[in-house]
Amino acid sequence: MLIPKILTIVFVLAGLALALLLARAAMASRTPRALLRSALQRLDATNRWILIARLTFFILLGAVIGFHSYWAFFADRDQKFNRAKQLDARNRRLAESALKGWVLDRSRKLENALIRYRYDGGLISRDYPLGPAAVHLTGYSDFVFGSGGIESAFRDWLTSPDSTYNELLSPVPVGKDIAVSIDSVLQREVFGLIQATGKPAGAVVLLLPSNEVLAMASAPSFDPLTINNEETWSSMTDQAENAPERSPLVNRALGTLVTGGPSFYFRPGSTFKVFTAAVAIESGMTNEHFTCRGEGFTPPGFARAVRDFGGEVHGSIGFKDAFRVSCNQYFAQLGLKLGRERMAAYARRLGISSNPESEAGRANDLWQTKNAEPKSFAFIFAPPRGRMDLTSKANSFDLALQSFGQGYDDVTVMQMALLAAAAASPDGTLIAPSLQPDLPKKIIGPFVSAHSAAELRSLMKLVVESGTAAGAFSHLRGRISIAGKTGSADRDVMITNADGDPVVDFMDAQGRPHYKYANWTDSWFIGFAPADDPKIAFAVCVENGGQGAKTAAPIAAKICEKAAALGYFNGAQRSNP
Amino acid sequence: MSTTPKRSSPSLNLLVLALVLAIDLIAFVAIVWAAQTKGYYPSKLAALRSLALFVPIIAVFLWLMRRQKFRGEMLIFTAAAFLFGFGLVMQYRLFSDPEYSSRGAQRGKAREEKAQTVRLLNIKTGYDEDKKRFMFGALEAIPEELPRPARPGAVRTFADILFSSTTFIPLGALVAMMGAFVLFKNERIVLWLQRRSLLIGVATMIPFAALVLGFSEEGKFLGQTTPWEPVKIVFLMSFAGVLADSYRHLARTRWGLPPFKYLTPFAVIAAMPVVPFFALSDFGQMLVFFGVYVMLYAVAVRKPAQLAYGLLLIVVLFAGFSVASRAKSGFGIPPRVYFRFYMWTHLWEPPQADTWWWKRDFERYLKAKNLPLNRDDPREVKQRNSEAWSDKVMQQSQGLFGIHDGGAFGAGLGLGFPETVPISDSDFIYAAAAEETGLAGALALLLALGVVVSAGISISLRAPDMFTKLIAAGLTGFLGLQSIVNIGGVLRLLPMTGITLPFVSHGGWSLITSFAMLGILLAISDRNSRAVAEKDAAVPAQFIAVH
């Protein structure tokens, strides 16, 4: 590449010199005025006018040079030009010739890479070895249809020239590689587990204490290489817009779209009792006994009652037991006792807004990131901010429901994983999650005191030992000790057909359609392991998976087994303290 | 005292010709080298053939000096040869690129193959050994070149190269130049041309108009060629002849208007190119004719008032046409012209989808790309409209992007992407040159052009009689104005027109016509020198009626 450039400069400079030589000769052999006048008097006037014509030509030539200079040096000051230049056909050629950086996993081994290039049949193409298992992390990359995930969030880094790139030898840059905190093997396992349920699901696994993301999976999923034609693209984006509950473009672990932008929330169900319990412990209100009745608990001034799952009745029950067996009525009453303001204050510590109208939006500052351009990263990976309604408009019934994870509670799976991580942290602080390994941990703020966190941990240990999750983890007893909380989130879901249109149940007397609803129970489990010296925290949510112990907890058990097998519990894998 | 003006020394001209050959050789080497990094191999034989074209050029130079005993100014020939050489370089660059020289699906494939080759080069130079081993298995397994299916027609034989239009056209142009020179050196022919100018004009016009009106289809005839280009010269000559005869009478005005007896034949001759070129929708040529004719009238008659009348007439006509076209009477300024004017002023902003002159192109785009459109969704309509517009203005916008990327010294020969500019080997050759050789290379081109025009004006100034004076000025005007209109269109100084750059564009008849004009100018230059020499020798000269 160097030689042609040098030769071109020689060509240009020599050409200019020759042209100047010719110009000088032209000037030298100009017709002297005397000759013009003497021999050709009658036509002198015409000659003068011809000279004016020549002058006009040279003025136009000057204008040409001026315009050329504008386009060569100043055109990029015009925003319209810059915008139009994005459609320059040259960009495509540069993109097709350039090599973006590879995205390696935390092991930095090439065979575990998340995004790389492969050589196949004479073609060098961008490859996503984990395919659908990691597409919500990696995103995809197509010249026409854009990119998503890490391809988009880290685009500036991945396209900036690598230090080994030799500008003189190669016409287009080789991009910088990046290592992310993901563990490829674990990622495959987690995705396999949630995909096997056949239901929409999301799961997050964090490495403690830095909250690096070890795995983040979402199902249903899609193969990133299929985004390369108009048909697939428009059908997928239409579906994401009209029927997001079915769309594989949604990252259910984060509540965002692979292509960037917020998506929907989940209701946390009983896993939210971890939060209420934490508030109670910190406030010293753990000595209460409340009664759990068959007819349910009716908040004062209301006619509707709060009931437990399957109509369970626990009678008069204390704090520990209520947590262990996940008693809704207890927590409803506890929440009312704790009060709106207290709950809102602790929710704020977790980044959950208590006024959905004014503080809704995305948690743009949540993640800790080093090599990504902040806005690009936030556009892809900032989850919608968790929210509750603890304003004066929320009545006692609302508060009661929210205390055990129903009602106006809106969270993401990541939010709940962070809650589990906060419980697992020795000093009860909330640490920012990160996609890059080996960054010093970034503390968002305190959640509860170290003492309260310890008590919370022992509660969660109880759940697994003898509580609602005992059955799911019994096979691991003695080998791995895990702590956590099950959740069964109830919600009424409008049934939609494949196009996202609601299905009509019946038409009423006035001719208005009534749509079909179904009652779904999302299966949740959040927790950390090992229970006594936490190394990982996780959250799993399977839509319509039934009770927490039924689907989500067994998945969490397998995740912990795999993490143990990979050496996360015996100190073989470490992150910065 | 000898008042023979100095002329540039023949040895200087010969030296410049040799140096032009040398720098073109350097340029060809650069192109071949750069092509390797993109994975294609331009034909070295074709390069030699192109460079060998300088042999007939130098031969013609020597023929002029020796056999014809040329006494005029050679500078114009040398400057034209410089431009020709630049054109050779750019043609080679473009046509050796497999993407530019193929069509349809082959184009996309060629583009992909080039990109893949650059990727392989990047991997070889930029990746560490671990990655290489991972991708290819072993370091030895990295291919030298990516395996490619054989492209049809990729290998050209010596005969293919020798007997192609790229050889014939320049040779034909030189022959045309020699022929024009010999013809115009002949006093009797020049005399005859002047005497019969009106007749010649009409006699050429009728079959030409018939041909054109019978076959016209948006300006292209027999494929993409424009074989009527040499007719321009004949039209110019008849105009110059009529004007040379009657200019003094035209100057006698009554309230600024010339007497009708002389105005009528003159107006007929002046209007002649308009009709066929209008039918051909070749508005660039019309513009050039108009400019040259106005200039010739102005320098001959020298009455600014008449010029003002003329311009007023034009404005009235134009306004009339434009009103007629807006009223959609089916007659008037064609949508294409509106489009070009709009593109000139608002290149980056698409017009509304239902604008009368844009509607049809928008529909055509949707049909060609097979895109359904939900017309009730204004956002989608706007989006598609924007896409259709970008597609339609692609030639102009891609050219400008290239000029921007070229900067001061260009991206380097063979290293830019002029293949993304449609028809960049003829209409937009300036854009291709600007992208790869930058402002500096373009300056060299413009300087040489300035020398051509300057020398042509010089020839016109020294002409002893009005007829040849006007012909020389007119031909120089053609060359100069056509260049300005072409380059101006590329740079958005003027609206874009489908006109070529003289000497640099080698497309079809453009080169032949340009060299024919050159031949005539050289003949006039030679005549001028002989006239002065004879006058100096005090021998009565056989002038054509000096007025």
Chain A hits for B400, Cβ within 8 Å: 71, 75, 81
* pLDDT (0 to 100) of residue B539: 43
What is the dihedral sign for C-alpha A444, A447, A452, A453?
negative
**B397: nearest CB among A39, A61, A84:** A84
Is residue B119 within 8 angstroms of chain A, CB to CB? yes
B76, B118, B121, B485: best to mutate for the A interface, most A CBs within 10 A = B118
Q: Which two tokens stand for residue A235?
A: 């059908």
Q: Does A487 or A501 have the greater pLDDT score?
A: A487
Residue A39: pLDDT band (50, 70, 90) is: low
Question: A510: which DSSP letter?
Answer: T
User: In the numeric block, which tokens belong to residue B400?
Assistant: 């400008």
Span A134-156, average pLDDT? 91
Question: What does the pLDDT look like over A186-219, one tens digit per residue?
Answer: 999 999 999 999 999 999 999 998 999 999 999 9
Query: What's A540's DSSP letter?
Result: E
Does A18 score more than 90 pLDDT? Answer: yes
Q: Please answer whether residues A222 and A248 qualify as being in contact, where contact means their C-beta atoms are separated by less than 8 angstroms.
A: yes
Shortest Cα distance from B222 to chain A (angstroms)?
31
Check whether A56 has a pLDDT greater than 60.
Answer: yes
Q: Taking CA atoms, what residue in A is nearest to B22?
A: A11
Give the 3-state secondary structure of residue B425. coil
Rounded CA separation A39/A26 (Å): 21
pLDDT confidence band for B307 (50 / 70 / 90): confident
- Chain A interface includes B26 (CB < 8 A): yes
Q: HEC string of A77-140?
A: HCHHHHHHHCCCHHHHHHHHHCECCCEECCCCCHHHCCEEEEEECCEEEEECCCHHHCHHHHCC
The model's pLDDT over A326-336, given as tens digits with 9 standing for 90+, comes to 999 999 999 99
Q: ipTM of this predicted complex?
A: 0.92
Phi first, then psi, for residue B164 (nearest 5°) are -110, 170
**Residue B145 region, left (φ>0) first, then alpha (ψ -120 to 50), else beta?**
beta
Task: Return the residue in B6, B16, B134, B387 with the most chain A beta carbons within 10 A, the one to mutate for interface testing.
Answer: B134
pLDDT above 90: residue A513: no
Q: Taking CB atoms and an 8 Å limit, are B26 and A11 in contact across chains?
A: yes
What percent of chain A has pLDDT above 90? Answer: 61
Task: Give yes or no for A316 touching B (CB within 8 A).
Answer: no
Output DSSP code: residue B357: T
Chain B residue numbers with beta carbons less than 8 Å from the beta carbon of A77 are: none
pLDDT given at position A315:
87
Determine the Cα–Cα distance for residues B272 and B279; give it in Å rounded to an integer. 12
- Residue A239 distance to chain B (closest CA, Å): 17
Structure tokens at B436: 């790869």
Q: What are phi and psi of A493, to 5 degrees?
A: -110, 130
- Indicate yes or no: pTM above 0.90: no
pLDDT at B160: 76
Q: Select from A495, A491, A559 the least CA-distant residue to A523.
A: A491
Q: What is residue A545's DSSP assignment?
A: -
Q: What contacts A361, CB < 8 A, 6 or more positions away? A: A384, A385
Q: Please say if the pLDDT value at position B316 is more than 60.
A: yes
Say if the Cβ atoms of B126 and A65 lie within 8 Å. Answer: no
Question: Cα(A381)–Cα(A260) distance, rounded to whole angstroms?
Answer: 7
Say what the pLDDT of residue B540 is: 46
Cβ–Cβ of B451/A58 closer than 8 Å? Answer: no
Question: Is the CB of residue B226 less than 8 Å from the CB of residue B509?
Answer: yes
Contact between residue A456 and residue A448 where contact means Cβ atoms under 8 Å apart:
yes
Per the CB < 8 A criterion, the answer to whether A324 and A270 are in contact is no
Whether residue B100 is predicted with pLDDT greater than 80 in this model: the reply is yes
Averaged confidence pLDDT in chain B: 85
In the structure encoding, which two tokens stand for residue A335, read together?
A: 């929440």
Mean pLDDT along residues B134-163 = 78
DSSP labels, B331-354: -SS-HHHHHHHHHHH-TTSPPPTT
List, in order, residues 6 or more apart from A324 with CB less than 8 Å away.
Answer: A459, A462, A463, A466, A467, A468
Q: Hey, are the CB atoms on A72 and B34 less than 8 Å from each other?
A: no
Q: Strand A256-257 vs strand A250-251: parallel, antiparallel, or unpaired?
A: antiparallel
**pLDDT number for residue B421:** 92
Query: CB within 8 A of B256, min separation 6: which ones?
Result: B303, B305, B306, B308, B309
The SS3 assignment for A201 reads strand
**What was the pLDDT predicted at A153?**
93
Cis amide prior to A502 (ω within 30 degrees):
no
Q: Angle, nearest 10°, between helix axes A2-28 and B10-37? A: 160
Contact A410, A514 (CB under 8 A): no
Read off the DSSP letter of residue A328: H
Interchain pair A72, B451: CB under 8 A: no
> What pLDDT does B155 receive?
66
Q: pLDDT-derived band of residue B217, with 50, 70 and 90 as boundaries?
A: low
Q: Which helix (H) or strand (E) holds A489?
A: strand A483-494
pLDDT of residue A313: 87
**Token match 């916008």: residue?**
B397
- pLDDT of res. B487: 97
- Residue B459 CB neighbour total at 10 angstroms: 30
Closest CA to A538 of A574, A508, A568, A504: A568
Condensed to tens digits (0 to 9), the pLDDT of residues B446-459 reads 999 999 999 999 99
- Tell me how far apart the alpha carbons of residues A301 and A419 are, in angstroms, rounded to a whole number: 32
Within B138-230, where are the H helices? 158-162, 165-185, 187-195, 197-215
Least CB–CB distance from A122: residue in B111, B146, B535: B146
Choose, out of A11, A35, A74, A90, the residue to mutate when testing the contact with B (most B CBs < 10 Å): A11
Tens digit of pLDDT for each residue in B12-53?
999 999 999 999 999 999 999 999 888 888 889 899 999 999
Closest residue of chain B to A124, computed from CA coordinates: B116
pLDDT at B377: 83
Q: Using an 8 Å Cβ cutoff, are A546 and A525 in contact?
A: no
The SS3 assignment for A422 reads: helix
Please state, in angstroms and rounded to a whole number, the distance separating the CA atoms of residues A406 and B433.
Answer: 69
Please compute Rg for chain A using Cα positions. Answer: 33
pLDDT score, position B1: 40
In chain B, the N- to C-terminal Cα span, in Å, equals: 26
Mean pLDDT of A467-490: 90
Residues 22-41 (A) with a CB less than 8 A from some CB of B: 22-23, 25-26, 28-32, 34-36, 38-40
Element at B25 (helix H, strand E): helix B10-37
Confirm if B269 and B201 have CB atoms less than 8 A apart.
yes
A170 CB within 8 Å of a chain B CB? yes
- First-residue to last-residue Cα distance in chain A: 48
Interfacial B residues in 242-301 facing A (CB < 8 Å): 295, 298-300
Two tokens, residue A384: 């919608």
Nearest residue, CB atoms, A49 vs list B86, B302, B454: B302
In terms of Cα–Cα distance, which of B501, B521, B519 is closest to B457?
A: B521
Alpha-carbon span B84 to A15, nearest angstrom? 13
Instruction: Show the DSSP H helices in B407-463 as ranges.
Output: 429-462
Residue B121's alpha-carbon distances to B108, B114, B118, in angstroms, are 20, 11, 5
Residue B154 pLDDT level (bands cut at 50, 70, 90): low
> Cα–Cα distance between B425 and A71 in angstroms, integer?
20
Number of Cβ atoms within 10 Å of the Cβ of A508: 9
pLDDT tens digits, A219-265: 999 999 998 888 888 889 888 888 888 899 999 999 999 998 888 89
Residues of chain A with C-beta less than 8 angstroms from the C-beta of B465: 43
**Lowest model confidence (mean pLDDT) among B143-157, B396-410, B487-501:** B143-157
- Asked if B377 and B401 touch (Cβ cutoff 8 Å), the reply is no
| Residue B511 Ramachandran class (φ > 0 left, ψ -120 to 50 alpha, else beta) | alpha
CA distance A542 to A217: 12
Q: Is A39–B397 a contact, with Cβ atoms under 8 angstroms apart? A: no
Measured CA distances, B497 to A395, B163, B256 (Å): 74, 32, 34
Instruction: Provide the pLDDT for residue A124.
Output: 92
Query: pLDDT band at residue B545, thresholds of 50, 70 and 90?
Result: very low
B420 — contact with chain A (CB < 8 Å)? yes
| Distance (Å, whole) CA B120 – CA B124 | 6
Q: B344 CB near a chain A CB, below 8 Å?
A: no
B2 pLDDT band, cuts 50/70/90, is very low
Measured between CB atoms, which of A16, A71, A169 is closest to B444? A16
Measure the CA–CA gap between A253 and A265, rounded to whole angstroms.
10
CA distances from A177 to A99, A135, A396, B517 (A): 10, 18, 53, 61
Decide if pLDDT at B267 tops 60.
yes
Question: Is a pLDDT exceeding 90 seen at residue A478?
Answer: no
Q: Which residue has the higher pLDDT, A309 or B58?
A: B58
Cβ–Cβ of A170/B27 closer than 8 Å? no
The answer on pLDDT for A311 being more than 70 is yes
* Residue where the block lists tokens 């704020």: A348
SS3 B226: coil
Most confident of A309-323, B29-43, B389-403, B532-546: B389-403
Beta pairing class for A256-257 and A123-127: unpaired
pLDDT of residue A44: 77
Cβ-contact B408, B438 below 8 angstroms: yes
Size of chain B, expressed as the number of residues it contains: 547
| DSSP code per residue over B40-72 | ----HHHHHHHHHTHHHHHHHHHIIIIIS---S
Chain A residues with beta carbon closer than 8 angstroms to that of B116: 96, 122-124
Question: How does DSSP classify residue A54?
Answer: H
Q: How many CA atoms lie within 13 A of B165 on its CB side?
A: 9
Number of residues assigned to chain A: 577
Res A254: pLDDT? 94
In chain B, positions 446-485, which contact chain A (CB-CB < 8 Å)?
446-451, 453-455, 457-458, 460-462, 464-466, 469, 473, 477, 480-481, 484
Burial class (CB in 10 A: 0-12, 13-18, 19+), A293: middle
